[in-house]
């Protein structure tokens, strides 16, 4: 065969592999979706309680005092300022927690995880399929918070524009990917609680959900900017309220890179899983 025909053949092989990877990913996702679709209302409402408490306690309670002394960096008042952070918070908690408990339950209790490992699919497809299920969980819950935000502010386009939704999906992908890795490694439900208490809960308050990071001292600012939720909160807040030139475009590649790195780590973990 003439060498000039090799590149097209190679490209065709790569396209075939990508199609296979996509098909396998959807197959893994479909298994979780069959279980998820009968609990859509429960999943959508499961992460709504904490954001509502924060909205009432901080946005309406503390916010009324803060509005009299200062103007927030984005939004007309402190309640509007924290609403994008509540969307970020709810998507993080459910994407991570739902994915972790799903995998942990399959591994440790129902013992159905072995069947998943026997599927003749690429380890990356296993990670991506589980991650997609986590993304859907996060979007369902954050969608409920978005509805609350629209009711409080009346700003429909602020919370449903493409840039806002892109940052939200990336955030769900990051924390669902992290949930996959944690779910593959924990040995008990108590271990899940440890990750939640030492990773998710601190990030809930330090991830720029309630404050503007630019106002912090340099040392604390450096810590806050190490957290992926910070970039989500900043991105959602800017997408909701600020002009497009003021959007922190760096937040998108940062979240994307983190999601890709977690996918690589998750695929490696699946390929070496001993369950």
Q: Is residue 17 in some structural domain?
A: no
- At 239, which helix (H) or strand (E)? helix 228-241
- The reply to whether 41 falls in a domain is yes
Residue 14 in any domain: the answer is no
What's the structural domain count of the chain?
1
The encoded tokens of residue 74 equal: 């984005």
Tens of pLDDT along the chain (275 residues) come to 444 444 665 666 667 777 777 888 888 888 788 788 878 787 777 777 778 888 887 777 776 777 667 777 787 888 888 899 999 999 999 999 888 988 887 777 776 777 777 777 778 888 888 899 999 999 999 998 899 889 888 888 889 999 999 999 999 999 999 999 998 888 877 788 888 888 898 898 889 988 889 888 889 999 999 999 999 999 999 999 999 999 999 999 999 999 999 999 888 888 777 66
DSSP state of 213: G
The verdict on residue 7 lying in a domain is no
CB 72 within 8 A of CB 78: yes
Q: Residue 33: is it exposed, middle or buried by C-beta count within 10 angstroms (0-12/13-18/19+)?
A: middle
Quick check: is 12 in a domain?
no
Selection from 265, 275, 274 nearest residue 127 by Cα: 265
Q: Give a yes or no: residue 56 inside a domain.
A: yes
Residue 19 lies in a domain: no
Q: Is 272 helix (H, G, I), strand (E, B) or coil?
A: coil
Whole-model pTM: value is 0.87
What range defines the domain where residue 127 resides?
A: 24-271
Is 229 a domain residue? yes
């Amino acid at each position: 065969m003439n060498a000039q025909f090799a590149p097209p053949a190679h490209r065709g092989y790569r396209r075939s592999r990508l199609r296979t990877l996509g098909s396998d990913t959807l197959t893994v996702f479909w298994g979780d979706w069959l279980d998820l679709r009968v609990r859509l209302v429960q999943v959508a409402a499961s992460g709504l309680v904490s954001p509502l408490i924060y909205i009432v306690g901080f946005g309406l309670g503390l916010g009324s005092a803060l509005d009299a002394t200062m103007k927030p960096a984005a939004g007309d008042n402190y309640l509007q300022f924290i609403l994008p952070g509540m969307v970020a918070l709810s998507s993080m908690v459910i994407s991570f927690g739902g994915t972790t408990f799903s995998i942990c339950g399959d591994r440790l209790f129902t013992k159905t995880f072995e069947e998943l490992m026997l599927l003749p699919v690429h380890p990356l497809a296993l990670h991506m399929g589980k991650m997609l299920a986590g993304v859907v969980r996060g979007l369902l819950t954050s969608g409920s918070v978005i509805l609350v935000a629209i009711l409080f502010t009346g700003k429909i386009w602020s919370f449903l524009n493409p840039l806002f939704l892109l940052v939200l999906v990336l955030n769900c992908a990051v924390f669902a990917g992290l949930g996959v890795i944690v779910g593959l490694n924990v040995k008990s439900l108590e271990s899940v609680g440890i990750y939640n208490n030492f990773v998710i809960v601190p990030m809930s308050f330090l991830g720029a959900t309630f404050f503007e990071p630019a106002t912090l001292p340099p040392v604390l600012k450096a810590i806050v900017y190490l957290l992926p939720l910070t970039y989500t909160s900043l991105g959602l807040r800017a997408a909701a309220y600020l002009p497009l030139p003021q959007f922190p475009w760096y937040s998108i590649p940062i979240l994307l890179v983190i999601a890709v790195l977690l996918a690589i780590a998750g695929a490696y973990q699946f390929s070496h899983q001993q369950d």
